[in-house]
Amino acid sequence: MTDEPRPTVRGRRLGSELRRLREAAGKSTEDAATALKCSRAKISRIETGAVGIRRLDLGVLMDLYGVTGTRNRDALETLARDSKKRGWWHDYGDTIPSAYVDFLDLEADARYIRNWQPLVLPGLLQTEDYARALLQANPAAVHPERIEQFVKVRMERKAVQAGPDPARLCAIVWEPALRCPVGGGDVHRAQLGHLAEAAQLPNVTLQVVPLGIGASAGACGAFVMYGFSSSPTPGAVFLENLTSSHYLEREAELDGYGLVFEHLRSSALNTAQTLDMITAIAAET
């Protein structure tokens, strides 16, 4: 027996939303299976993103769950239609680890990206040389022969910030991430210059939490939140460590990270003060 294709992030998001709607409507998997004339196992596989769902079946479930309003129904139909869509990163084959594919899927779909980074600068704001230096510094992260491919991927990710309707990026970094001379003095200065330019883009908000603030909510470690609608309300949180990653979507988890991000934002320098700090540190290097 061949293995099933790995669920996509979009497929898991659709399945998760269908499960949430079913539970909110007070329906069981048996109710859903009866409506679709299928097994309960198939409903479970749809809700985990292991299999897709036909448009007609999706319509039946939306009716069963009481989903009304053109906007709500269209959003689910779009997610279902795109659940198997391949992004540009799939052309890299097995070069990109599966956890990173999840990350890229989320990033490509997001309308809002909120990022907390205490140690390094966000990938979407990195220069090529800075990204290369980071990858070269971690012997366990990427095989040396694949570093250039990963640098290329990281640069291609910046497409989400381009075009007529780019994603809205709100990044908060800790002061040490600004001061660490990744790649040496020349690379560091160029990175700070690039950061100052990016911070003035209309779709980018950059703030720094200064060292002098002391303890902060950011002690939880780095995280990225993604919003997929016209509202910045997070629909997913992505966490990553050396050997694995986690994709969070439960409401309580999202609320917790949202609260932490707001605390970080309130303790950070405003955008003008942040730009002044970047300029001052660049002058020191």
* Least confident span in 157-166, 202-211, 263-272: 157-166
Which pair of tokens denotes residue 247? 């994709």
* CA pair distance 196, 37, nearest whole angstrom: 58
Exposed, middle or buried: residue 272 (CB in 10 Å: 0-12, 13-18, 19+)? exposed
Q: Could you give the angle at the alpha carbon of 22 between the alpha carbons of 14 and 75, nearest 5°?
A: 35
Instruction: Spell out the domains of the chain, with CATH numbers in brackets.
Output: 9-81 (1.10.260.40), 92-284 (3.30.870)
β partners of residue 209: 174
Residue 56 has pLDDT above 70, yes or no: yes
Whether residue 185 is predicted with pLDDT greater than 90 in this model: the reply is: yes
Q: Which amino acid is at 44?
A: S
- Model confidence band, residue 87 (pLDDT cutoffs 50, 70, 90): low
What percent of the chain lies above the pLDDT cut of 70?
91
Structure tokens at 188: 């560091």
- State the average pLDDT over residues 90-106: 69
Strands 245-248 and 236-240, bridge-based pairing: antiparallel
Cα distances (angstroms) measured from residue 2 to each of 5, 6, 24, 86? 9, 12, 35, 21
Model pLDDT, residue 1: 39
* pLDDT at position 90: 56
d(CA 221, CA 239): 9
Asked if residues 123 and 154 have their Cβ atoms less than 8 Å apart, the reply is: yes
Residue 12 has pLDDT above 80, yes or no: no
**132 pLDDT higher than 80:** yes
Q: How much is the mean pLDDT over the chain?
A: 87
Whole-number pLDDT of residue 84: 67
pLDDT (average), residues 114-141 = 93
Number of Cβ within 10 Å of residue 178's Cβ equals: 20
Give the integer Cα–Cα distance in Å for 266 and 130.
28
